[in-house]
Copies of this chain bind each other. A is one copy, B any other.
Amino acid sequence: MTVSDTTSQELDAVLAAATAAAGPLAALRPAERARQLRAAADALDAAAGELVPLAIEESSLPEQRLTGEVARSSGQLRLFADALEEGSYLEVIIDTADADAKPVPRPDLRRMLVPLGPVLVFAASNFPFAFSVPGGDTASALAAGAPVVLKAHPGHPKLSERTGEILVEALRAAGAPDGTFAVIHGMEAGTTALTDPRIKAGAFTGSERGGRALLDIATSRAEPIPFYGELGSLNPVFVTPAAVSARGEAIADGYVASFTLGTGQFCTKPGLLFLPEGHGLEYRLVEAVRGTSPAGMLNDRIRGGHAEVRDKLAGLGTVRTLVHGADGDAGVAPTLLATTAKQLLADPDALLEECFGPTSIVVEYSDPDELLAAAEAFGGNLTATVHAEDADTPTLAPLLDRLRDRAGRLLYNGWPTGVSVAWAMHHGGPYPATTASVHTSVGTTAIRRFLRPVCYQNTPQALLPEALRDENTLGLPRRVNGTVTTADVA
């Protein structure tokens, strides 16, 4: 099987079909779309035996990781089905008429969220399932009731094409309108689609440069559209002296395991580890890095990009190389660099560059004030992590406050790789972590990116959407005159 770029005629047909599907898909009850998501999840699980080998071939990722990623992706589709069935995602608010309201009488107002229309998703290279064809952007957009046009990542075209066929078939069999989902290939098709007036939102996971270019396209359209990009993140980790004393070796081992996991190809890879001067962990860190096997990277372009940034960082006069990992036949070995917080503060732009792959930097700090200053040097990040002990608690608030201003998720005594798919998850952060820090790309609240509010004023029951009628046939949680209830409107 070879996969060709989508032609402009093919793209036009895809966009026309997505546009035609938008109304019927939006009109389905949430429980009907939930059934479709569960059907897609089941089909994905059933096809794991066929898809995982394709993914191995195209991504160099190991079987166990990919099998787990399929389970994560199908579980994610089912979590969004749960959210549809629960119904609060519709955010129904009803204020019944109040003739006595001041300064003016209030009409009957009924608000809910409705889908934006067709969404263009740019798939990522590093998660062939969970941030690709059957990934979180697809799941949340379909849950919202928005048709999805998925621009496949060129790193795994055959897997994308085949996964797309499986999803299209499962959705169709479960009653989704034709055009609900389609996979397209080729950067030209992707950028052309992004400028097409039929596309009403974009989502992206990838590099800062690529994401920014697409953001600029989306916002400079005649009709600008929301563009939800997840771009770059350094994911710094800050370790207190007390934590080093209590469990320094475990921290060293955990850090190396986290930054080399998946050959460092995670958006949440810890890129910097702040340790107090005199931490005494250098030998342990070096041994742990040396003990990590080389592994293949996703593709030549990513391997080359990693080597370029790694060598640039290692070549800085302010950086020591603790372990230089070579690129060999067995893959890429991890690299560990070292610098000081003083050097970082003297030239933050040089040192705070994301190196996508198995390279990370140990940064020694001299005192808590220097650590705070270093924390302030960061821009937006997906995560920031603190390792501390109970004795640190009274003094940690200033650090956490600074990190909260700069990161979407704050971890305590953990590691940022691994993102739970849950109601409470937030996977986002200030720019450049994302292009839209108000939103998340993981967790049930990701649905909201593809919905907009509509308010019906003084509209007869028969003309209201089912979700807004007095009788709450869908059993939705609704805020009625200020109180959340699943009861009918009295």
Contact = CB atoms under 8 A, between A and B. Distances in A.
A223 B91 CA distance: 30
Contact of A420 (B104, B110, B425, B440): B104
* Residue with the greatest number of chain B CB neighbours at <10 A, chosen from A380, A449, A455: A455
Interface string A469-483: 000000001010010
B424 A458 contact: no
Contacts of A7: none
Nearest to A442: B455
Contact of A220 (B216, B393, B459): B216
Interface string A94-109: 1100000111101101
Interface in A190-230: 215-216, 219-220, 223-226
Interface residues of A, number: 85
Contact of A405 (B107, B117, B426): B117
A224 B379 CA distance: 12
A454 B426 contact: yes
Given A379-B223, A437-B116, A477-B484, A423 B458 contact: no
Interface in A63-101: 68, 71-72, 75, 86, 88, 91, 93-95, 101
Interface in A103-134: 103-104, 106-107, 109-111, 114, 116-117
Contacts of A155: none
Contacts of A226: 436-438
Interface in A388-440: 390, 393, 396-397, 400-401, 404-405, 407-414, 418, 420, 422-426, 428, 430-432, 435-438, 440
A451 B448 CA distance: 14
A456 B412 contact: yes
Interface of A: 23, 68, 71-72, 75, 86, 88, 91, 93-95, 101-104, 106-107, 109-111, 114, 116-117, 215-216, 219-220, 223-226, 379-380, 390, 393, 396-397, 400-401, 404-405, 407-414, 418, 420, 422-426, 428, 430-432, 435-438, 440, 443, 445, 448-449, 451-460, 462-463, 477, 479, 482, 484
